[in-house]
Structure formats: C-alpha cells, structure tokens
Amino acid sequence: MSMGGTLVTDTLSLGILAIVAGTVGDAGGTGYWVGFATSVIVFLISAIIILPRLGRWYFRNVKYENNTDFVFMVAVLFTTAFLAELAGLASIIGAFIAGILLNRLVPESSTLMSRIQFVGNALFIPFFLISVGMLVDVEVLVSYDVWEKAIAFTLIVFAGKGLAAYVIRHLFRYSKEEGYVIYGLTTPQSAATLAVTLLGYELGFFDQVAVNAVVILILFSCLLGPWLVEKYGRAVAAQEEEKPYSPADAPQRILVPLANPETSDALMDIAFMVRDEKSGQSVYPLTVARDGTDVEANVARGEKMLSHAVIYAAAAEVPVNPLTRIDLNIAKGIARAVEERRISNIIIGWNGEVSTRRRIFGSVLDQLLTEVDEMIMVCKIEKPVNTFERLVVAVPPFASLEIGFTGTIRSLKLMAEQMGVELVVVSTDERDPYVRKAIEKVKPDIDITFETIGQWSEVLQWLENNKDENDLFMLVSSREGTISWRPGLDRLPRVISQKYPALSFITVYSSEVEMEADQGAGYGQKVDILIEDRVFPDLQGDDIESVLNEIISKDEAFEDIASERITRRLLENSSGYSPEVMPGVVLYDAHTSKVDRQILFVGISRKGINIEQTANQAHLFLLLLSPKEMPVNEHLTTLNRVTKLIGSSETVDALKQSKSTKEIMQLLIRTGKMNRGKS
C-alpha cells in the first residue's frame, strides 16, 4: 500500500514539474503550449509502445553473455532521458518513465535487478546526494527565513502524509498500529524530493534558502519515519505472532533438480520467483549422478552445473545450498534428497518429448510422482521468464479440496507478484465459487481475474481461443488416488505439448503431505467410518447400477428403504464427471436423508465391470453417504480422506486377491496409516 501510494505521488509530482518546467524561458502563448503538449504526447506514446516490445524482444532473442542485459538497460535509460529532454521534459522524467515501462521485465529476485539496485544504491544515489548537499550554504542556516520555510514544509508534509494514512487506515480497516506504520513508511522525503528540488534550483524556481529548507525537511522526515516504523512495527509483528497459524506461513524449502545446462537458468528463475523471501530459506539446486563405471565423470558434469547455479543465484542475492547425490535410480536419488532436507517444493524441467512408452512425462518424472508427496512443478519453459505478461492457471474440478491446494496457490501468487504479471484463474462454472473462496484467503493479496468454462473438457478449447504468446500457462493437476484425479488430467500435458509446442507451461502437483499441506484444515482426522460389516469382497453385479444396488441392499440399515432411489442419487451426482479416482477404483458419494451419520461402503468385483465414464475396468467400489444436513465442507473433507485408503495400484491388486473381509480391512487400515504417516 505504501509503495503504491509513493509511486503515484512521485509520478504526479514529476508530471507537475514537467508542466512547470515548460514555462521557463521567453517562449509562451498558445502555439508554444500546443507544440509542447504535442511533443510530450508523442514522446509518451512512443515510449509506451516501443520500450516494452523492445525489452521483450531483447530478452527473448539476445543470448545472455556477461553483463549485456545490464548494458542494455543502461542504454535504454540514457536514451529515454535524452529523448525526454528533446521533448521538453526533464531528463529525470525520461529515466523515471523508462523504469516504469521496463520494470515488468526485471523480476524482483533476479540477477539483473540485483545489479541495477547495486549500481543505483552504490553509485547514482550517493553522487546525487552529494551533488545536492554541495548546494547547501551552511551560512544560510542561521537565517530566520530558512527555518520558517523548513518548518512550513515539514508541517505540510507531516499533515498531508498523516491525513492520507488516516484515510487509508479506516478505508481498508487496518489497526491503529498498522496505520502508524503506513504513516512512518510514507513520511520520509528523499529521492523524489531531492530530484524536484535540484531541478527547480537549476531552472531558477528555488533560491539557496528554499534548497536549505528542503534539506532540513528531509532531515526531519527521515528521523520521524524510521522511529514510527520501528515503534509500531514491533506491535504489528507481535499481533501477527498471535494470529492463528496459516498454511501461507509454512516454511519453504525449494529443490531444483538440474540435468540440462540450457534450462538450468530458467528453472532457477522459477525457484527465485516462487520463493518467499520472508521465509529465509535457501534454494537447493541438485544433481543426481547415475551410479556405474562412469560415475566420476557424471559427478564432475553435475558439479559444473551446480557451480553455475551457485554463481547465478549469488548474482541474484538468493542463498543456495547445492546438493549432489549418486544413485542407480535418478528418481530415488531426488526422493532421498527430499526426505533428507525436508523439502516442500520441487521444481523440475521437462523437454516436452513424449512417446508411447511414457505415461505422462517420462520415466524419471513419472517415478518421482509416485516416490514423493511434496508439491512438484514440472516446467516446460520456451521463453525467458521475465517476458511473460499473464500467468494463466487452470483449476480442475475438486482441486481446491486437495490438502495441498493452499500451498500451491501461495506459490503461484508469489510467482505472479514477483513477475509483475496478471493472474488469470480458469475453472468450471460449478466449482468457481469454491475456487474463488479458497484462492482469495491465501496471501499475498494480489489482483486476480476469474474466468469460467462450462465443463472441464472445454479447457483446451478455452486455451485455443484465449492463449497469447506472452502467456505462461499453469495446469493444477493431481496424483492418482486423490479426490480431483481424473484420467484425462494425465493426458493433458502431452496433448498441450504436442498441440502447442511453443507454449510455455507448468504442471503443478499439489502436496499430499498432511503435516506440510494441511496445517489445521482438518484433513488429518482418521476415517473411523470404515467398519467390517460394510465391506463386501465378492460382488456379482454386471453393471454399475446393479453393483450399487447390491452393496446398499446388503446393509441392515437399508432393509426398509428402496435402494434404487439412493443408487439413482449416487449416479446423478457423478454425471458429467468420471468417478474413477485411480485405475480400477471408482468413488461415488451423495447426501441423503436416509442416514443420520456418515456411512462408507467398500465393495470388490473380481471379474470387474465396465463403466461409461471410466477409462479402465472397475474392480473396487467406494460409496460414501452423508446426512442431508451435514455441511458440504465436512462431507468433502471425509471424501478426501476416503481417497487416501487406496495407496497405489499394488494395493488394488492385493485387494482383488483378498479372500476375506478381514483381510481387506487389514489392507485398507494399513494403507490409510501409511498415507497419514508419510510426513
């Protein structure tokens, strides 16, 4: 809030300065002002049209070598300042405009931003301060006029900033302490004030007395501001500590497995943007050398790549902790590093190549999805990260119910904030209200555009109609056995890669680790509704309707109730969606007035049946019935826990071979405990 307000006031003050500066000299009259206005408008329009396009073209087409990107930015800075002077404006205004127009191309956590800030803070600003300080006449400080103007300037600034902070505090319902922090952050006057003062002095608007008065104003404001921030900032920090724990406060540990030198920089950039600076955690670049006769050569290649990653991160002032592992299996080597370092986020690259032998991405990535439950971002980046204009996120049905969805949205918001791009969220009409609610409660607070589609199957058509070359597309996917998993999700990355080879996109798998992803959301509860009397090991039905009727009618609680009505309700709830939660396993759920507590049925058909909406023959059937008056959130929470009863395809095979109800119960309970204890 404070930075945004300061940006607006600086822009307006420099704009007023430009107009006032145009009055200097002998020129005047209507002709002069028309010419002045025309030159300024032409300059602004040209800058707005050319600079962003020029910068985007440069970063996409010019290969990074040494400090060429910094040289390019400096060249644009001085060129724009020179053209501003030709248009009749002050050169500092041209430089300011160049900064505003190009700042989207320079992420906050990047090597280029680090260099720009270093040169500005270590060279430009000190010389600027020295040049203004040299204008101060110490002898004038004893003058009554200097102190009269200094006190007047100071009172005007304090009153204006105080009024603004007071209005903002009540408008946005900040606490009293937060209001004083805003006041303290916005009160100090330095860079913009010095710039205006220096230019005004050069143009003859200010005399030595005014310059000295402004310097005194800067001294007073720079004493008051930090004092207010330090005093009331402590109170704000104490208030934050007393708030309930939020998933957004969870520490981040980001692992970046590196295998290709050409994509390593892009993956590190993604890690820098996802990283929350407030967490203070390092980024962990990793190389895994395959064990064998040439293991030493593999380790040497990996260390060379890690050396480059360390240098690249150091230039961006991001702490890193490089890791090297040796393993016969690359995916297991990555998984071992995840466990040892308690990693929360994994950012890994994908070249987009697919073959009939590969299920989703390829052997290593597919194995990694089964080996770890932490959040994984599979990145196929075709353009420099800082050249994107939109971050488009596709959220499939029920993805917002996953225990790691909050952490995923937190990472995407941090990324959009760092990149300075528009965040667009696409979901189905039915799930849009739930997606909005889940996303809006996650920090940081940024502007988001929500768009909807009728059904999830229309997402590719939406992408075809709305994609732009400057988009970074993100697909929120899920692992098998989770509540939001559908067979089509596994095919989407391959389809997108083949249909749009030039599109940059990231497939995000939310964390399934309850201790990291849940954070008090209630997913850690045990599924105590699993009882032996409602487990049926040998179903005989030939179609889904007969199987559901068979399961329900076998329960004593439904002896006097027409099971067909409940069956219809279960089938209606799944219409339009596939009930398949993993190959061979289907899940049906419904609210009904026929039960006064939640009931879970488990049925097994050894011969299997074909269901229209599923890609595989169904052998295992899960049915969850909840009381009609039960809140939707409680029902969905239990539904999510039920999906964790089946751990993998191996569990499904074992259940199909089980010969007794007791054996099935033991398998389900053991799998459920393993899934709850993975963290």
Q: Using N-to-C axis directions, what is the helix angle for 144-171 and 208-242, rounded to 10°? A: 30
Mean pLDDT computed over 71-85: 90
378: its two tokens? 């599979």
C-alpha gyration radius of the chain: 31
Mean pLDDT computed over 211-228: 87
Task: Looking at the structure, tell me whether residues 401 and 274 fall in a common domain.
Answer: yes
* C-alpha to C-alpha distance for 309 and 331, rounded to whole angstroms: 21
Give percent of the chain above pLDDT 90.
Answer: 15
pTM exceeds cut of 0.75: no
Mean pLDDT computed over 189-194: 75
Identify the bridge partners of residue 287 per DSSP, sorted by sequence position. Answer: 324
Residue 542 clears pLDDT 80, i.e. is over it: yes
Task: Looking at the structure, tell me whether residues 506 and 624 fall in a common domain.
Answer: no
- List alpha helices for 87-207, DSSP H: 91-102, 111-119, 125-133, 144-171, 176-186, 191-203
Task: Give per-residue pLDDT as tens, 455-498.
Answer: 888 999 999 999 888 899 999 998 877 778 777 788 888 889 88
H or E, element range at 173: none
Task: Looking at the structure, tell me whether residues 480 and 594 fall in a common domain.
Answer: no
Mean pLDDT computed over 45-69: 82
Give percent of the chain above pLDDT 70.
Answer: 87
The confidence score (pLDDT) of residue 156 equals 92
309, 258 Cβ separation under 8 angstroms = yes
Task: Looking at the structure, tell me whether residues 561 and 419 fall in a common domain.
Answer: no
162: its two tokens? 């105080």
CATH of residue 403's domain is 3.40.50.12370
Instruction: Report yes or no on 524 lying in a domain.
Output: no
- List alpha helices for 187-329, DSSP H: 191-203, 208-242, 261-274, 295-315
**Lowest-pLDDT range, 113-127, 573-587, 592-606?**
573-587
Mean pLDDT computed over 329-348: 89
End-to-end CA distance of the chain: 38
**Lowest-pLDDT range, 234-238, 353-357, 530-534?**
353-357
Instruction: Report yes or no on 198 lying in a domain.
Output: yes
Q: Check residues 178 and 238 and name the one with the higher pLDDT.
A: 178
**Lowest-pLDDT range, 416-420, 472-476, 593-597?**
593-597
* C-alpha to C-alpha distance for 253 and 282, rounded to whole angstroms: 7
Domain coverage including residue 135: 2-242
Last residue of a domain, one of 517, 550, 566: 517
590, 600 Cβ separation under 8 angstroms = no
Task: Looking at the structure, tell me whether residues 463 and 513 fall in a common domain.
Answer: yes
Task: Looking at the structure, tell me whether residues 285 and 421 fall in a common domain.
Answer: yes
Task: Looking at the structure, tell me whether residues 232 and 254 fall in a common domain.
Answer: no
Mean pLDDT computed over 401-414: 87
Confidence of residue 539 (pLDDT cuts 50, 70, 90): confident
Nearest to 446 by CA among 518, 503, 390, 516: 390
Confidence of residue 391 (pLDDT cuts 50, 70, 90): very high
Task: Looking at the structure, tell me whether residues 87 and 142 fall in a common domain.
Answer: yes
Task: Looking at the structure, tell me whether residues 607 and 656 fall in a common domain.
Answer: yes
Task: Looking at the structure, tell me whether residues 255 and 232 fall in a common domain.
Answer: no
CATH of residue 577's domain is 3.40.930.10
Number of domains in the chain: 3
The confidence score (pLDDT) of residue 50 equals 92
Instruction: Report yes or no on 187 lying in a domain.
Output: yes
The confidence score (pLDDT) of residue 516 equals 44
